[in-house]
Amino acid sequence: MTTIRIAAEDRLLITTEDAAARLGIHRSTLYDLIRSRKLKTVKIGSRRLVRVSALEEAIQLLEEETAA
C-alpha cells in the first residue's frame, strides 16, 4: 500500500485549529463564526473540518457586513 503525502497548503479541508491560524484568530472566535453560520464546515466522523474556500467566503461576508 502506498501512502500519498499532500502538502498542507494543497489540502481542500483543514482542521479548525489550522483555519483559526490561517485567519489569525483564536479558536473560540472561529467557533463563534461557525455557530453564527458565517463560516461553513463539514463534519466527517467526529471531526469538524473547514473548506479552504469557505475561509475566503467568510472573509468576504465579514467585509460586506463591516461595509454596511
Give pLDDT, residue 10. Answer: 82
What is the pLDDT of the chain when averaged over all its residues? 93
pLDDT band at 17 (very low <50, low <70, confident <90, very high): very high
DSSP 13-34: EEEHHHHHHHHTS-HHHHHHHH
Contact at 8 Å (CB) between 57 and 40? yes
Phi, psi of 56 (to 5 degrees): -65, -40
Q: Which residue has the cell 461576508?
A: 61
